[in-house]
């Protein structure tokens, strides 16, 4: 049975600590780190790291530890905790190679506990990316009433583990599409970019988008993936790019977006562009005002001409 957890899978937006708060956000459980990235080389038979859990509640808490695989929940950046069932999930699974020194952690109020996690670099672990999670869940044997009063959010939290085994990585990042809602008279400040990771390891897209007017002036810029969010292998992910205005857009005509992107570890950029028509509202107002003035002159001229005829 798949267990889903709606958490935001964004490296730059994940804090160094994951916290599970009490109802008033005064007390809670804190896990550090909230995510861990491991690189496995041929010379290492295993890699170890330590996860700390702090109990800031007023009661003793018993946590049951386990390991699960995770994958992409959707294209927005969520992750799904699951047991590897599909071929794609099995291909990038990690839980079978993760081992914990203990499966239960009991913490008194104010206590900090530590758990050592070992990643085994066996031959059965293929090169490329592998993804697992260390989960902490309140033990059913604890005083559930006291725990429920101090710990909420389904009483489950995690440390996400991203492993890259070198020796056969495939890097392949493509821009599969972009969405910009242009309606001719309103300059939209957001471009949605859909990336595809066709490789076998997680990537961090980077880049910049520049908007130029018909005279070549740069009127706006946006940074791609300012939060350093990861995209898992063989998946799609949508990244919103928010523009910062650099100059007033007062020239009507065809505007161009110059897109330059790459991924961390790649020096050169891939470039593409898209165009949209834009008529600044000020121009429309001026044209309407000018039209009104011209129409006024026409009407006045017509009345004057009719007055001259009557005089004759």
For residues 280-303, give the mean pLDDT. 64
Of 87-91, 156-160, 289-293, give the lowest mean pLDDT range. Answer: 289-293
Among 165, 198, 226, the domain-final residue is 165
Work out the pLDDT band at 303, boundaries 50, 70, 90.
low
User: Residues for the chain: how many in total?
Assistant: 312
Summarize the confidence of residues 300-312 as an average pLDDT: 57
* The pLDDT value given to residue 147: 47
pLDDT of residue 44: 83
Q: Is 73 exposed, middle or buried (0-12, 13-18, 19+ CB in 10 A)?
A: middle
Question: Do 187 and 101 have their domain in common?
Answer: no
Same domain, 183 and 71: no
Q: Give yes or no: residues 103 and 196 share one domain.
A: no
**Structural domain count, the chain:** 2
Residues 19 and 151 in one domain: yes
**What residue spans of the chain are helical by DSSP H?**
87-91, 144-150, 281-311
Token pair recorded at residue 122: 């066996």
Does pLDDT of 156 surpass 80?
Answer: no
If one counts every other C-beta atom within 10 angstroms of the C-beta of residue 41, the result is 11
CATH of the domain at 148: 2.60.40.10
Which residue in this structure is represented by tokens 């599409």?
177
pTM: predicted TM-score of the whole model, two decimal places: 0.77
Confidence at 287, pLDDT banded by 50, 70, 90: low
pLDDT digits (tens, 9 = 90+) for 215-261: 999 999 999 999 999 999 999 999 999 999 999 888 889 999 999 99
Asked if residue 98 and residue 39 are part of one domain, the reply reads yes
Determine how β-strand 128-138 pairs with β-strand 156-165.
antiparallel
Assess whether 178 and 266 both reside in one domain: yes
User: Can you read off the two tokens belonging to residue 30?
Assistant: 């804190």
pLDDT given at position 245: 94
Confidence class of residue 286 from pLDDT cuts 50, 70 and 90?
low
Instruction: Please state the φ and ψ torsions of residue 236, each to the nearest 5 degrees.
Output: -110, 150
At residue 283, the pLDDT reads 61
- Give yes or no: residues 224 and 107 share one domain: no
User: In Å, how far are 88, 92, 104, 154 from 83, measured between CA atoms?
Assistant: 12, 11, 20, 19
Lowest mean pLDDT among 35-39, 51-55, 304-308: 304-308
Q: Are residues 243 and 204 in the same domain?
A: yes
| pLDDT for res 157 | 83
Task: Please tell me the distance from the alpha carbon of residue 139 to that of residue 307, in angstroms, as a whole number.
Answer: 97
Task: Measure the CA angle with vertex 108, ends 105 and 114; round to 5°.
Answer: 40
pLDDT (tens digit per residue) in 74-120: 898 888 886 656 677 789 999 999 999 999 999 999 999 999 999 99
Which residues constitute the domain of residue 48? 7-165
- Grouping H, G, I as helix, E, B as strand and the rest as coil, residue 154 is helix
Neighbours of 82 (CB within 10 A): 21
Q: Which of 6-15, 88-97, 167-176 has the lowest mean pLDDT?
A: 6-15
Instruction: Answer yes or no: is 309 within a domain.
Output: no
Chain-wide mean pLDDT for the chain? 82
Report the range out of 92-106, 173-187, 274-288 with the highest average pLDDT.
92-106
Does residue 296 belong to any structural domain of this protein? Answer: no
Average pLDDT over residues 160-176: 95
């Amino acid at each position: 049975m798949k267990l889903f957890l709606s958490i935001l899978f964004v490296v730059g937006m994940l804090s160094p600590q994951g916290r599970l708060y009490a109802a008033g956000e005064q007390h809670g459980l804190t896990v550090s780190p909230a995510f861990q990235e491991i690189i496995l080389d041929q010379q290492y038979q295993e890699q170890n790291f330590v996860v700390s859990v702090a109990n800031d509640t007023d009661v003793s808490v018993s946590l049951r530890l386990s390991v699960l695989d995770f994958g992409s929940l959707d294209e927005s950046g969520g992750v799904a905790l699951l047991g590897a069932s599909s071929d794609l999930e099995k291909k990038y699974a990690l839980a079978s190679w993760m081992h914990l020194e203990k499966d239960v952690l009991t913490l008194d109020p104010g206590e900090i506990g530590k758990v050592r996690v070992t990643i085994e670099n066996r031959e059965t672990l293929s090169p490329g990316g592998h993804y697992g999670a260390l989960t902490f869940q309140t033990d059913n044997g604890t005083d559930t009433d006291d725990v429920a009063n101090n710990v909420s959010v389904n009483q489950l939290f995690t440390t996400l583990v991203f492993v890259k085994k070198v020796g056969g990585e495939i890097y392949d990042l493509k821009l599969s599409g972009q969405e910009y809602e242009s309606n001719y008279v309103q300059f939209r400040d957001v471009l949605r970019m859909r990336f595809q990771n066709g490789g076998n390891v997680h990537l961090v897209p980077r880049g910049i988008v520049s908007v130029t007017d018909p005279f070549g002036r740069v009127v706006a810029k946006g940074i791609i993936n300012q939060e350093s969010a990861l995209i898992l292998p063989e998946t799609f992910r949508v990244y919103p790019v928010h523009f910062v205005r650099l100059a007033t857009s007062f020239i009507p005509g065809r505007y161009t977006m110059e897109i330059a992107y790459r991924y961390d570890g790649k020096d050169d950029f891939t470039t593409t562009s898209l165009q949209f028509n834009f008529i600044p509202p000020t121009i429309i107002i001026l044209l309407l005002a000018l039209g009104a003035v011209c129409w006024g002159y026409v009407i006045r001229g017509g009345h004057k001409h009719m007055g001259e005829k009557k005089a004759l």
